[in-house]
Structure 1
Amino acid sequence: MSDLDALADRVRAAIPLTTHLDFRFTAFDGERLTLTAPLAPNHNDKGTFFAGSQAALLTLAGWACTTLMADSVAANAAVGEGEASVDVVAVESSLQFRAPLHGDIEIRAWADDGESGRFHQRLKRRGKASLAILARATDAQGVVVSEYQGLYLARNNTDNA
């Protein structure tokens, strides 16, 4: 099982609503996360992708991107010290819907310019850090259907024992 599949399973176990979204994390390169989900379980009464599903998936993509970036910092810091974990929470967000979506969704989430280096340093040094995430949802032709900005807080969790 890949790290992305394990994270998706963790999300589905912790947040039952997400099982109905039928999402998949499809790629993460250390900086950018891609998430996909089909229209079928996420449609509204007009046959387009439900705005609530888009909001949930964009928020989830931001959380997952932050979590994966934070986990890499924690893993590097914990070498030889046992397993480390990081808690991530959404603090603030804004979302704009640009166009109706008549098919499956693809979401790409990434840290705002210059944020990832600062995030890594603060998380290593202080054990907590915030990260501004941008996410864009597109249709199969690459047309932007919604844009999201979120602020996430990551904190080392040393009380997992």
Structure 2
Amino acid sequence: MTALDALGARILEAIPLARHLQFSLLDYQPGALLLGAPLAPNINDKGTFFAGSQAALLTLGGWALTTLEGEACVERVDVVAAESSLLYVAPLEADAHIRVHAVPDDLAVFARRLQRRGRARLAIAAELMAPGKEVAARFTAYYLARDLSASHESVD
């Protein structure tokens, strides 16, 4: 089982809402994650992708990327969303792709701080869109990660 498959299984087991979203973790490269979700279980009364589902998927995507990046540095990590901003740009009338990226300069600092201090903050940006189409929502957030596996230095 890949790290991506294992994380998907953990999410489905721990977060009941995720089962209703019917999301998939499609691809992971260091600093970037691609998720997918079908329209049907996330549809609203207007026949478009429900804004609440978009918010949940974008938040979940940022959490998943931060978790993957944290687990690339330390054995066990606990991640929480600390701050986010979401802009709905256009209605989405199709299945969704969610592209999540760590802010490049922030990723190296995140890894170093997590390893040295046992806690770190990661800035992410994400976009939700129909595959190959224009952006329907833009999301930025900060996630906090804490190493659960060891003791750490108190200075950076």
Kept in 1, the 8 Å contact 2:34–2:97? The answer is yes
Which of 66, 78, 85 pairs up with 1:87? Answer: 78
What residue in structure 1 maps to residue 48 of structure 2? 48
Q: 1:10 & 1:100 partners in 2: Cα distance?
A: 30
Partner residue, 1:146: 137
Partner of 1:25: 25
1:118 is aligned to 109
Secondary structure of the corresponding residue to residue 73 of structure 2: helix
Query: Secondary structure at 1:114's aligned position in 2?
Result: helix
CA distance in 1, matches of 2:129, 2:18: 20
Total equivalences in the alignment: 150
The one-letter code of the counterpart of 2:102 is A
Post-superposition Cα deviations, 1:57-96, rounded to whole Å, max 9, x if no partner, equal: 000000000000000001xxxxxxxxx2000000010000
Report deviation, 1:142: 2.4
Give, in whole Å, the separation in 2 of the partners of 1:129 and 1:44: 37
| Alpha-carbon distance in 2 for matches of 1:2, 1:36 | 17
Query: TM-score, normalized by length of structure 2?
Result: 0.93
Shift of 1:55: 0.1
Tell me what 2:59 maps to. Answer: 59
Q: Specify the alignment match of 1:133 in structure 2.
A: 124
Which consecutive unaligned segments of at least 5 residues does structure 1 have? 75-83
Unpaired runs of 5+ residues, structure 2, are 151-156
Residues 150-159 or 46-55, more deviating? 150-159
Deviation for aligned residue 1:2 = 2.3
Question: How big is the shift at 1:4?
Answer: 1.2
Q: 2 CA distance for matches of 1:141 and 1:69?
A: 26
Pairing 1:2–2:34 present: no
TM-superposed deviation, 1:138: 1.2
Q: Which runs of 4+ in 1 moved over 2 A?
A: none
1:99 and 2:90 are equivalent in the alignment: yes
1:14 Cα deviation from its structure 2 partner: 0.6
Matched residue, 2:153: none
